[in-house]
Structure 1
Amino acid sequence: MAPGDVVPDHAKQLKSKEKRPASRALKSECEPDGSFVFEAHEAWKDFHNSLRHFYEVGELCDVTLKVGSRLIHCHKLVLACVIPYFRAMFLSEMSEAKQELIEIKDFDGDAIQDLVHFAYSSKLTLTVDNVQPLLYAACILQVELVARACCEYMKAHFHPTNCLAVRTFAESHNRVDLMDMADRYACEHFTEVVECEDFTCVSPQHLRTLLSSSDLNIHSETQVYNAAVKWLNANPQHHEAWLDQIMSQVRLPLLPVEFLTGTVAKDEMIKGNLSCRDLMDEARNYHLHLNNKVVPDFEYSVRTIPRKHTAGVLFCVGGRGGSGDPFRSIECYSITKNSWFFGPEMNSRRRHVGVISVGGKVYAVGGHDGNEHLGNMEMFDPFTNKWMMKASMNTKRRGIALAALGGPIYAIGGLDDNSCFNDVERYDIESDCWSAVAPMNTPRGGVGSVALGNFVYAVGGNDGVASLSSVERFNPHLNKWTEVCEMGQRRAGNGVSKLNGCLYVVGGFDDNSPLSSVERFDPRMHRWEYVSELTTPRGGVGVATVMGRVFAVGGHNGNIYLNTVEAFEPRMNRWELVGSVSHCRAGAGVAVCSSHVSQIRDVGQGSSNVVNCM
């Protein structure tokens, strides 16, 4: 066809289809009225390259930026398209809008040069030397893309020696995301940060925020106290306004008693400040309260709740699920990561096993392995990540409860296929030896137990005839069990834990019916009271206290085995679901080990990754 011929519609469509694979930059469409729309994306690329070329050779420039002694020749249109600060300037009635030379004060010349280059090339090279002046310039000139890139670069290059300064810099430019990341890094590397020169130079406001965090990676609250004292000694000018506010972020009640009385109480700064003396009184009253002493008007606070890294690791050990076979697997809850993982398996399968943690180790005692009742015990050591067999009890049994008071471990009650027991045995850890102590007044299989104050409590259970509401406690000095006031509900297979000086009994079975009710016993008032119910009934539930909350793990609701976990918040008087373990299980032992979660080896899915809850 000649160039002037009209191309039929169907031919146009054919040619269009033939040409499309040849160039993705060309786009043509036929409109309903027969007109032809041609769009070439490559033209934008050429346009962009031309602008950069004009900038590099200094052609057609219509504005010059003066930064110190540096002159940067560029184009108003390009600056207005990429940098909002200049867009507002050039579209305003400001005198600079008509000037060919614009002086920019209080900026780093290299940073402005880099931003202008970015406007033409969309590329930027970040280094440890230029990132701070670039972020400053990008924030002031409102180039959010560059500001975000600088923040990401700084996040990737945090170090204990710079994170505090970065945080201060981020705060001055209202980069909240960078501030949060710097705070998280400083918390994770707290002990290293405290040793850096910058630490004593932080503002009192910044220090207060840092010390208040529950995420501080510490092994003991003494590290927080020592950090606060280091800063205060270096900044005496802030004592009058900030001493009590800084010390209020240290959780004095969680300090060891000997450190509290031997070091803190003798510190002249503390002794000379009325508010700090009040904080010391709170710490003393906390320890008195834990020992069942009546302390009028004492209240628990955030200072009595451990920080995440000192709260330990929650272990869920053994139990059984829908398959019927007892588990040898254990699951561990990482408080810092808010997730569960499998730890090294026990040597024996165990359901209705007694579990406790003492001295940073976890002990699993008795239970049933699917064939017979067990009297043996094994101990998990986080340093070796192995379970070791220890001395066996004198009586084989399942459904026992363990408690530790003053060093020894007490194995309480339990049952076998023939009877329920009132036997109590005491295990001496150092000699690896069991011995009998005074039996309980009542046989209790499926009993719950905890040490509170100077006593070991045995709560509920089944005497072989029915579930019990009775409670008794053991005085090791008198080697005697004494009845205390009974619960409002009969229950066996219940979980028991202590929180804020009170005993909590959770769920269980009233004979065969699983319970959702929860009761709390205050030994100072000698009184039981109901608190908020579980979200679902849980018989054979495992219970432990973590960071000021009571956790209830697994159990059976009358229809299925459960893998859900819920936690009780005493201040809100409310249970809420907080996750789940991998295996549905009841009759597991639950305890909190004082080890660090990083010590415990994650073994993956354990012996089975099948979740059978029926």
Structure 2
Amino acid sequence: METQKIYKKQEVIVEIFQRLSAMRDSKLCDITLVVDDVKIHAHKVVLAACSEFMKTLLTGDFKEYQQPTIKLSEINAEAANQVVNYMYGSSIKITIDNVFNILRISRMWFINTLLEECEQFLMKSLNISNALLIWTNFRLLDQNQIKTRAEDLLGCHFTTRNRNGYSAVPEKVDLITGTITSITSMNIARRDVALCGLDNFIYAIGGTDGNQALKYAERYNIHTNVWERLSDMNYPRKRAVAASVKGLLYVFGDLNNVGGAFNTISVYDPENKLWTDIPSEISFCCTEPLSITSDENMIYVFGKDNALGSGTNRVAVFNPETKTWNKDLIKSSISLTKTIYGAAFMKNFKSS
């Protein structure tokens, strides 16, 4: 005969944390964390229950931490707020832009469940476009598998060159060791191609065979060491540049304006294996190099805008979602007197 039964009410636990979270702006909060002048209100019991670090901090003999306000340093304020919300049962959005900040706090505060989530995210999202970022932060990671996988990808960045300037044999550059080795030959020897990494492929688009600009496009599989022929672009492009946003490739610019390439942006959909063209009110002249980079789903192109004259360089910002250029930035942008050979984004940069 059954004399007792234990009931577990998951709904009750969830409701309790929801109520605690709702009271974080009330007088019942007994601790405030301050990170870079950002105040995060909380309950000591919640922090201590979720973090061994916080438990030791709040219950130990540290006079400076017995105050109602505690200042924390060497962590990101936005990430700290997200982690505290996570302690109260809220979902947390992990992206390649915030994962290392969240990972750092998870490690410092001994929140193992969130630490594992960050490591799983890194393993799933690792590709050639973020491998260098992940590898440089590998000391934060417990999983050597992530470091090794990043190193494998870093060894697959390549360039195409030889003494005559035309080559079908790309060279793999290992960014860690600095060694250069040849990989499988491209199908057509050419130069002045637009290169772009997306997922586990490196795309080589357009270029010239020495006589004319090409519509040709192919991609290199870094795992199988095989080049795959893609459908041709609608317009030939030489000295173009390419960037990827949300799984699509965007190709800008041309040297010779053959067939209207100046006034269009070529877009490739790898899933449907289809090229389309977007009309562009800005056209870039590639008599000198163009540079391109992307950040937060926006594409930044540095180079000569034909409308400004042959001697003027500037930056223009393209929004792939609206398929338009940022006109406000275009009007206010300062002309660049020098050719821009490369461009990259740096997060949280502070000038001295």
Secondary structure of the residue aligned to 2:181 is strand
Is 1:481 matched up with 2:331? no
Distance 1:583 1:552 in 2: 12
Which of the residues 233, 248, 263 maps onto 2:113? 263
Instruction: Name the count of aligned residue pairs.
Output: 258
Residue 93 of structure 2 aligns with an amino acid whose one-letter code is R
Deviation digits for residues 503-545 of structure 1, max 9, x if unmatched? 1111222467872311221211111222341523342321110
| Shift in alpha-carbon separation, 1:266–1:543, aligned structure 2, 3 A | closer
Distance 2:275 2:234 in 1: 7
Which of the residues 79, 84, 93 maps onto 1:227? 84
1:516 maps to which residue? 263
Residue 588 of structure 1 aligns with an amino acid whose one-letter code is Y
1:440 maps to which residue? 186
Higher relative contact order (CA 8 A, sep 6+): 1
2:249 maps to which residue? 503
Residue 561 of structure 1 aligns with an amino acid whose one-letter code is G
5 Å-filtered alignment, 1:76-91, equals none
Distance 2:334 2:173 in 1: 30
1:199 maps to which residue? 41
Does the CA contact (< 8 Å) of 1:414 and 1:421 recur in 2?
yes
1:564 maps to which residue? 314
1:555 maps to which residue? 304
Distance 2:132 2:83 in 1: 24
Does the CA contact (< 8 Å) of 2:247 and 2:269 recur in 1?
yes
Residue 589 of structure 1 aligns with an amino acid whose one-letter code is G
Give how far 1:491 is off.
0.3
Normalised by the size of structure 1, how large is the TM-score? 0.36
Distance 2:178 2:160 in 1: 20
Does the CA contact (< 8 Å) of 1:460 and 1:467 recur in 2?
yes
Does the CA contact (< 8 Å) of 2:187 and 2:227 recur in 1?
yes
2:217 maps to which residue? 471
1:22 maps to which residue? none
Deviation digits for residues 237-260 of structure 1, max 9, x if unmatched? xxxxxx5xxx4xx53344549969
1:461 maps to which residue? 207
Distance 1:227 1:478 in 2: 43
Residue 316 of structure 2 aligns with an amino acid whose one-letter code is E
1:26 maps to which residue? none
Deviation digits for residues 13-61 of structure 1, max 9, x if unmatched? xxxxxxxxxxxxxxxxxxxxxxxxxxxxxxxxxxxxxxxxxxxxxxxxx
Deviation digits for residues 140-159 of structure 1, max 9, x if unmatched? xxxxxxxxxxxxxxxxxxxx
Q: Which ranges of structure 2 fall in alignment gaps of 5 or more residues?
A: 1-24, 27-32, 44-73, 107-111, 137-150
Give how far 1:438 is off.
1.6
Secondary structure of the residue aligned to 1:199 is strand
Residue 572 of structure 1 aligns with an amino acid whose one-letter code is T
Distance 2:197 2:113 in 1: 29
Distance 2:251 2:152 in 1: 19
Residue 228 of structure 1 aligns with an amino acid whose one-letter code is N
Which of the residues 539, 543, 552 maps onto 2:292? 543
Distance 1:405 1:569 in 2: 33
| Shift in alpha-carbon separation, 1:221–1:471, aligned structure 2, 3 A | farther
| Shift in alpha-carbon separation, 1:555–1:582, aligned structure 2, 3 A | closer
Give how far 1:495 is off.
1.1
Which of the residues 586, 597, 611 maps onto 2:349? 597
Give how far 1:586 is off.
4.5
Does the CA contact (< 8 Å) of 2:196 and 2:242 recur in 1?
yes
Does the CA contact (< 8 Å) of 1:412 and 1:458 recur in 2?
no
CA-based RMSD of the aligned residues comes to 4.3
Larger Rg belongs to: 1
Normalised by the size of structure 2, how large is the TM-score? 0.59
Distance 1:218 1:500 in 2: 29
| Shift in alpha-carbon separation, 1:483–1:426, aligned structure 2, 3 A | same
| Shift in alpha-carbon separation, 1:266–1:429, aligned structure 2, 3 A | closer
Deviation digits for residues 328-354 of structure 1, max 9, x if unmatched? xxxxxxxxxxxxxxxxxxxxxxxxxxx
Distance 2:78 2:167 in 1: 42
Distance 1:494 1:438 in 2: 23
| Shift in alpha-carbon separation, 1:547–1:190, aligned structure 2, 3 A | farther
The percentage of counterpart residues that share the same residue type is 20
2:47 maps to which residue? none
Distance 1:522 1:190 in 2: 46
Deviation digits for residues 66-125 of structure 1, max 9, x if unmatched? xxxxxxxxxxxxxxxxxxxxxxxxxxxxxxxxxxxxxxxxxxxxxxxxxxxxxxxxxxxx
5 Å-filtered alignment, 1:143-542, equals 191-193=35-37, 196=39, 199-200=41-42, 222-230=79-87, 232=88, 243=90, 247=91, 250-254=92-96, 256=99, 263-264=113-114, 359=132, 406-408=153-155, 410-414=157-161, 418-510=164-256, 515-539=262-286, 540-542=289-291
Q: Which ranges of structure 1 fall in alignment gaps of 5 or more residues?
A: 1-164, 169-188, 202-216, 234-242, 268-282, 292-355, 362-380, 382-403, 602-614
Secondary structure of the residue aligned to 2:203 is strand
| Shift in alpha-carbon separation, 1:427–1:266, aligned structure 2, 3 A | closer
| Shift in alpha-carbon separation, 1:415–1:265, aligned structure 2, 3 A | closer
Secondary structure of the residue aligned to 1:590 is coil
Deviation digits for residues 588-613 of structure 1, max 9, x if unmatched? 222335x5422x66xxxxxxxxxxxx
Give how far 1:412 is off.
2.6
| Shift in alpha-carbon separation, 1:432–1:584, aligned structure 2, 3 A | same
